[in-house]
Amino acid sequence: MRNLNKFYIDGEWVTPHSNQSFPVLNPATEEQLGSIYLGNLSDVDRAVAAARRAFETYSQTSPEQRIALLERLLVLSEERREELAQAMTTEMGAPITMSRDVQADAAVGHLSGILEALKQQILRETLANGDVMVREPIGVCGLITPWNWPINQIALKVLPALATGCTCVLKPSEHTPLSAIVYTQMIHDAGFPAGVFNMLHGNGPTVGSGLSRHTGVDMISFTGSSRAGIAVSKDAADTVKRVTLELGGKSPNIVFADCDLPERVSASVLECMYNTGQSCDAPTRLIVERSCYDQVLNIAKTTAENIGIGDPAQEGDHIGPLFDRIQFERVQAMIDQGITEGATLLCGGLGRPEGFDHGWYVRPTIFADVDNAMVIARQEIFGPVLVIIPFDDEEDAIRIANDTPYGLAAYLQTSDENRAERVAGRLRAGSVHINGGGFNYGSPFGGFKQSGNGREGGVHGLEDYQEIKTLHLG
């Protein structure tokens, strides 16, 4: 809990100007762990001023100098993986095995991917017409990250900023400050110059909007809800700063009858419920060929009913609670909505699982016989809730899959390679996972439509933090 009541600005842990406190809670026990201060506009000004001063010199460092700093951070990311994992298990309820294997691993994996991209990127090239094109850091970056994948999203924003020669101000979610504090100390210990990286806690309407509107900020990178992303874009419009967004999703998962149904359907249900359903790219709409529909329902029901639910501090393959009361109530309301709309409740339902009388635990829930026009098929629920929708043929499947305002990810299960290529080419999503193919560090991640713009990870993630300058030589 060290530095819980401090902000990190200009290379030091400092006392905030604001004295507005915010409780930090354990979602598994509902106990208060401590409290943070929520920043105000004076705190924002202080952090941005530090970043602007640091940009004058840090922007002139060589890639080799920045690589050396990042490699020191990589060593610390390995050494403090357990500390990061324990922080996320405590603050958001991710089971400790998952926190170690995936949540904390993001600090290592994304940094390795960024380092590889930075070493490969060409910063100066001569065009066919003889002009020279150079890539330069965009400036001071305001970075706003969510609570559901705390270190994953911090790494995907902070690392490309540091790699390209930008300076930054990070506003992590006020609900998950513990892991952000650990990561901030790692950056300090790696030796980055004062002011290059700054971190302050705060809420969206004050600190988030303050960064988005600030004349001293050149770029905003935001991950969160589509509603909040729209607000960030509007706030940033008056200063014409670059905005990259990674927003919501209602990802389709098309299941054709020719796939290995027991394997692929079971894996699909587990993927939806992973992280207690709190992932923006979770495959929450299972779109199933009618000829195998009943078989799929049986497999899905059995799989969901066998999902373990438990204390996130205990090792094992189970899911934990939702991250707070507000999310618990939202998910309960959406389950009630599905019942009201007339969908078939295949398993799960309202209330906590049996044996849990406290903590924000939710029963893994599946609705069958869902129409894609239903609210539960169109709105992001962000909990362990899966909807199953039948389709008649390939065209019908593609139509249903694309009939959503989102386009972050899509999933596809078929043994026909030609069909896989054909259907994947028509799905309007930033990534398509075919037969269980997973995400790899270093690949670009981002969405179509209202799932956002820009890409995170790899070379494409670096480019969003860079400006292009053309030299016309005489």
Terminal CA-CA length for the chain: 59
DSSP, residue by residue, 118-149: HHH---EEE-TTS-EEEEEE--EEEEE--SSS
Sort strands 409-413 and 252-255 into parallel, antiparallel or unpaired.
parallel
- What are the phi and psi torsion angles at 118 (to 5°)? -65, -40
Report how far Cα 372 is from the mean position of its chain's Cα atoms: 25
User: For residue 436, what is the DSSP state?
Assistant: T
Is 246 a catalytic site residue?
Answer: yes
**Among residues 353, 311, 308, which one has the least CA distance to residue 99?**
311
* Angstrom distance (rounded) from CA 124 to CA 85: 39
C-beta atoms surrounding 387 within 10 Å: 26
Task: Indicate the length of the chain as a whole number.
Answer: 474
Of the residues 174, 246, 289, 380, only one is catalytic, namely 246
* DSSP 3-state percent helix, strand, coil across the chain (nearest 5): 45, 20, 35
> By the 8 A CB rule, do 447 and 406 touch?
yes
223, burial (CB in 10 Å: exposed 0-12, middle 13-18, buried 19+): buried
Beta strands in 146-246 (DSSP E): 167-171, 197-199, 219-223, 242-246
Determine the Cα angle at 138 with ends 134 and 144, to 5°: 145
* Angstrom distance (rounded) from CA 64 to CA 201: 32
Query: Alpha-carbon dihedral of residues 100, 101, 104, 107, nearest 10 degrees?
Result: 150
**Among residues 387, 393, 373, which one has the least CA distance to residue 283?**
387
Q: Which amino acid, 63?
A: P
Q: Which three-class secondary structure state does DSSP give residue 418?
A: helix
Beta strands in 3-128 (DSSP E): 7-9, 12-14, 20-25, 32-38, 124-126
User: Which residues does the annotation mark as catalytic?
Assistant: 246
